[in-house]
Amino acid sequence: MADRTPLTLKAYQVVTAMAVPLVDVLLRLRLKRGKEHPERWPERRGQSSAARPDGPLVWLHCASVGEFLAILPLVERLEARDITVLVTSGTVTSADVALRRLPPHVIHQFVPVDIPQFVGRFLNHWKPDLALFVESDLWPNLIMASAKRKIPLILINGRLSERSFRRWRLAQRTIGALLGRFDLCLAQSAEDAARYAGLGAPRYVTTGNLKLDAPAPPANAEKLWAMQGAVGDRPVIAAASTHPGEEAALIDVHRRLRHSFPGLLTILVPRHPERGTGITEIARVAGLRFAQRSAGELPDRDTDVYVADTLGEMGVFYRIAPIVFIGGSLVHHGGQNPVEAAKLGAAILHGPHVWNFGEIYTALDAAGGAELVTDVGKMTVRIGSWLKDAPAREKVAQTGLRAMETLAGALERTVTALDPYIMQFRLERRGDGA
């Protein structure tokens, strides 16, 4: 059969194959900046100190923390079938979360940089029977090399925004060649499925969003007890996964409300914890008292703003704050995931820019389980209203929880779609005497 790989992908393979010396330099620079794991950075070159277990192995690849958390229930379902599960991701943050959240026998590795030599090492070592790519983290060499080895490829929890769809239409042959190597695309929505079809995906099914089936984040009992003791009966609001510009808005809201609600505490949880010190400076300039979690501090009775610049503790803060603003939505980012806050009973506020989770926010807003605020003034009014009226706030929270329950079901539909592939490679291994 003639090679139908477009020239763009052939050129990509040639250029990336020649880039090994440059990538090695970049990896070492990233290591110095804390962007790579000091003991595990060889995994980015496709080298692994972990042995491949015997038996069937399913490989799931996700970009970062959000996607990783979404696939945890699926990982548990696969492991329950006596299948070895290998999870790859690309960030130090996701590796830290994997260490805490993955079941004991599930393997985590950093995904190799998309260089043919590194990808070849990785695939030769792990020999996956099935490869699942999560959402939209599609690396050409990983995809092409896996397909060449006849590893079935499935895109799960697929998401493709209208903007990305329009961009990819400009490179129709390139994206079509990549999607054409997938056996199946499992899309979050009918709109996503239609976009994948329009770009050349041969088979596609709408299964829903796995993030809606993810469990509520856990909370360390000792840390939760310490925070509850420090906060006491003070009124509390939180802002989760905030981006630059949003913290200043929340600090402004705090200044407007603090005299009406004595003891008000605002918890700011930046999307990128390394920004914590800069956020404390905003609070200092605003004349507010602050404490910083990464410095080992807890809020005291005089703390106005608590900067929670750590990882993996959202379960603590969602259980402390009855009102939560979800970040990435006042700025032009596309919004962060509101599901965890909704599942833990928070009344949710968000800005207008929520296209990353458009279906979820639409359902929440339509049901009355969340509210859109476009500026500091509207946010101040709504938070003040909810702080005064606990029954109204609780009604919003319960409505949001019910809305999440009606949207669930993606996990079962995804497992059902994967069943034929799992049965097939098990039968093949039995036939080979494995």
Question: Which residues are annotated as catalytic?
Answer: 67
- 291: Cβ contacts below 8 Å, ≥ 6 apart: 297, 298, 299, 300, 303, 305, 306, 307
Q: What share of the chain is helix, strand, coil (3-state, %, to 5)?
A: 50, 15, 35
Q: Which residue is associated with the tokens 């080992």? A: 296
Closest to 319 measured CA to CA, from 345, 293, 296: 345
Query: Which pair of tokens denotes residue 376?
Result: 């500091």
Taking phi first (over 0 means left), then psi (-120 to 50 degrees means alpha), and beta for anything else, what does residue 311 get?
A: beta
Which tokens is 300 given? 């005291």
Q: Which residues of 15-46 are buried (b: 16+ CB within 10 A; e: fewer)?
A: ebeebeeebeeebeeeeeeeebbeebbbbbbb
Going from the C-alpha of 15 to that of each of 5, 12, 408, the distances in angstroms are 15, 5, 43
Q: Counting runs of H as helices and runs of E as strands, what totals does the chain give?
A: 18, 14
Both tokens of 269, joined, read 């949880």
Apex CA 334: angle with CA 380 and CA 88, to 5°?
Answer: 125
Burial 352-369 (b: 16+ CB within 10 A, else e): eebbbbbbbbebbbeeeb
Q: Which residues contact 404 (CB under 8 A, 6 or more apart)?
A: 212, 339, 342, 343, 369
